[in-house]
Amino acid sequence: MLKGCFAVTLLWFGLFPGVGHAGAEEAHPAVEWSRDYGSDSEGQSVIPTSDGGYLALGGIEDADLPGGYAYQKAYILKLDVNGQVMWERRLQHNTTRNTAYRAIETKEGGYFVIGSSTSNGEPLDQLYAIKLDSAGNVLWEKIQEDDGIHSFPKNVIETDDGSFVIAGEGIVSWLAYEQGYILKLDSNGNTQWYNKYRFTGNGDYLNDLIPATDGGFIAVGHAGEVEYESKEQDALLIMKIDDEGNVVWSKPWVDPQSGWTAYSIVAAEDGGYAVLSRKSIDNKDVTLLSKIDLSGQMQWQKTYRDGTNTESYPCLVRTKEGYAMLGSQRSSNSLNESKTQYAVLRVDVNGDLLSRELFKGPPIVSVGMAAVTSDGGFIFPGTILRGDVRKFQLMKLSPASDGQPAERLLTGISFAVNEKKLKAGTNTSTVLQAVYSDGTKSDLSSAAVYRSEDNSIADIDGLGWISGHKPGQTHVEADYAGFTARLNITVVAEDTDEFDPVDGSLRLDSGEYSVSEGSQLDIKVLLYDYSTQMQTDITKLAVFSSDRPDIAAVDEEGNLIGHKAGMTRINAKYKGSSVYANVQVVRVNPQAIESVRNTDEPES
């Protein structure tokens, strides 16, 4: 039930590192309305409907009888254009936990909802499918049973014959490994086929599925360890299947120990597809947008960095300018207080950044799968806190009005790091940035001309990917618009263990540190060996880095040095393992120092 309408504040940061075309003439979305639904409720997703309204999905704690035991039911709400409730349904298959994750409007005018339901016996999350008519009446529901498998559906599409194809992630309960699956149900909920896809043996899952332009389907996700190729961990997975679920081709993009994962895919206007992903680059989680052709070959790729803030964009949509990435941003202040905001990252058809917009309100616990609306705006589902109570929130944003971005002057280009190290026989990505007169930066990795000083040691392709061939040192250069940038390359032997994860746990002696400006603190890096259960100080063997070395940095001896007030994050790396900690540098009060000095001086 609708509980109220609340005002929110729009924040736009026009000078974020990496923002392009940030000019005063450009207009941005604004909040039209924001509403809460239910109590002890959560928001998972929302879709626009053909009548101009919305269907919102999540979960809500609810008791069957007044004063009875409350458990979570799948929460489905039909809303009008202004977010007012037309009808709602609270549904369950099992009396433990039920959640509605995603939905589509069917060709016959009803709705098809997918979610999960936890069984009463063995506590397994089972796929829960519900078909509703336009008034919200349940036509049928289905549980897809799979012994020992936790099932988390991620997306669903309807085929021309009225069937439904569902992609998701299955977790084997007794082994805790993941596998992707795709299920096809007919219009009555009968299983036509149910295929599981294992590419690596562990860590495989699918996050999105769309119809392929040339027939069949395209799915994207993650492959944990590509055993048949490089035996390295972490690959973004793109997979083409036919109408029967058979794999036509699969493209694992390997980047070792990066956690590279695709979250969303859309058909591009000029053919091919645009893929939204995230991975760790130089110890920082970075959002990426890649353009691929119909066979899965990459055409260009752009990265979007946001300083020390953490961004998460699970949803990619088409817009009149190009694309928008919808999700959340989490940031921390100097007191180490964090906040989460709804976030929109807009780019043009070439992936060049137009703007980042942030929208806040009550404390946001989590952000669900947002959507583009029929008027060109956006709508966000989330879970917020009103006091101690969690509530399902929707926030509707208006479309951005037409505006021309301000012109900027290119002042130079630079690689995001000064040096790259890799093993012979492997490859790694680089990030080349354009630097503009207003202080902004944008990714131009796919636009530059590259060359290597010694191709026998390492070469670089047109997208900025470096391949190591034999041990040695060289450098690569990038040329763009009359500017040149240089990146030093070190290739080490293929059999080195330098990049292998340690057999144990890498730890810092604290999860967070505080140091004053101009002072230093001795920190330690510890390796806990699982086999011996012994802990060893390896501080002098670790390599340190900082997200903001102008705020704080760590020297080779393990001394944390505070330079100026602010928050940053330090990283300690040993072989193929890393550990992180937050650092707060506090400002020194000169009067307090003088007072201490006067106290310490002996009386004459």
Strands, DSSP E only, in 177-334?
178-185, 191-197, 205-211, 217-225, 233-241, 247-254, 261-267, 273-281, 284-292, 298-304, 310-318, 322-332
pLDDT value of residue 194: 95
Structure tokens at 392: 């399902």
The structure tokens 């694992």 sit at 252
d(CA 484, CA 495): 34
Structure tokens at 163: 């069937």
- Say which DSSP state 319 is in: -
Instruction: Name every residue whose Cβ is closer than 8 Å to that of residue 489 and which is 6 or more positions away in sequence.
Output: 419, 420, 421, 422, 452, 457, 458, 466, 468, 473, 474, 475, 476
Which pLDDT tens digit goes with each residue over 160-175?
999 999 999 988 776 6
CB-based contact 360:38 (threshold 8 Å): no
**pTM for this structure?**
0.78
Residue 561, pLDDT above cutoff 60:
yes
d(CA 313, CA 263): 8
Which pLDDT tens digit goes with each residue over 285-331?
899 999 999 999 999 999 998 766 788 999 999 999 999 999 999 88
Find the mean pLDDT for residues 482-501. 88
Find the mean pLDDT for residues 381-390. 94
| Mean pLDDT, rounded, of the chain | 86
In a 13 Å sphere around the CA of 200, the CA atoms on its Cβ side amount to 27
d(CA 239, CA 12): 37
Is 407 exposed, middle or buried (CB count within 10 Å of its CB: 0-12, 13-18, 19+)?
exposed
pLDDT value of residue 68: 79
What is the chain's length?
A: 604
DSSP 357-374: EEEE-SPEEEE-B-EE-T
Find the mean pLDDT for residues 218-228. 76
285-291 long-range Cβ contacts below 8 angstroms, 24+ apart: 285/259, 285/310, 285/311, 286/431, 287/311, 287/313, 287/325, 287/345, 289/316, 289/323, 289/325, 289/347, 289/351, 291/351
377, 379, 322, 376: which is closest to 47 by C-alpha?
Answer: 379
Is 6 exposed, middle or buried (CB count within 10 Å of its CB: 0-12, 13-18, 19+)?
middle
pLDDT value of residue 233: 59
pLDDT value of residue 569: 87
Residue 188, pLDDT above cutoff 90:
yes
In a 13 Å sphere around the CA of 153, the CA atoms on its Cβ side amount to 30
68, 118, 60: which is closest to 90 by C-alpha?
Answer: 60
165, 193, 194, 190: which is closest to 179 by C-alpha?
Answer: 194
- Of all residues in the chain, the percent with pLDDT exceeding 70 is 87
Find the mean pLDDT for residues 173-189. 85
pLDDT value of residue 8: 34
Find the mean pLDDT for residues 348-354. 92
Residue 77, pLDDT above cutoff 90:
yes
CB-based contact 394:47 (threshold 8 Å): no
CB neighbours of residue 546 within 10 Å: 20
User: Which of the four pLDDT bands, split at 50, 70 and 90, describes residue 29?
Assistant: confident
User: Which of the four pLDDT bands, split at 50, 70 and 90, describes residue 7?
Assistant: very low
Which pLDDT tens digit goes with each residue over 135-144?
999 999 999 8
Structure tokens at 58: 């999540």
- Say which DSSP state 97 is in: B
Tell me the domains of the chain and their CATH numbers: 9-34+326-404 (no CATH), 38-145 (no CATH), 149-262 (2.40.128), 410-492 (2.60.40.1080), 504-586 (2.60.40.1080)
474, 472, 358, 494: which is closest to 427 by C-alpha?
Answer: 494
> Which is more confidently placed, 216 or 69?
216
What CA–CA distances, in Å, run from 250 to 92, 203, 218, 246, 353? Answer: 37, 16, 10, 11, 29
What CA–CA distances, in Å, run from 374 to 47, 49, 276, 348? Answer: 10, 9, 22, 19
d(CA 318, CA 324): 6
CB neighbours of residue 435 within 10 Å: 17
d(CA 13, CA 22): 9
pLDDT value of residue 395: 96
pLDDT value of residue 591: 57
d(CA 217, CA 197): 14
Which pLDDT tens digit goes with each residue over 395-419?
999 987 655 555 678 899 999 888 9
> Which is more confidently placed, 539 or 177?
539
Please give the order of strands across the beta sheet that includes 178-185.
Answer: 149-158, 164-172, 178-185, 191-197
Residue 192, pLDDT above cutoff 90:
yes
Structure tokens at 445: 């990795």
User: Which region, left, alpha or beta, applies to residue 218 given φ > 0 means left and ψ of -120 to 50 means alpha?
Assistant: beta
Which pLDDT tens digit goes with each residue over 250-268?
988 888 778 899 999 999 9
pLDDT value of residue 453: 96
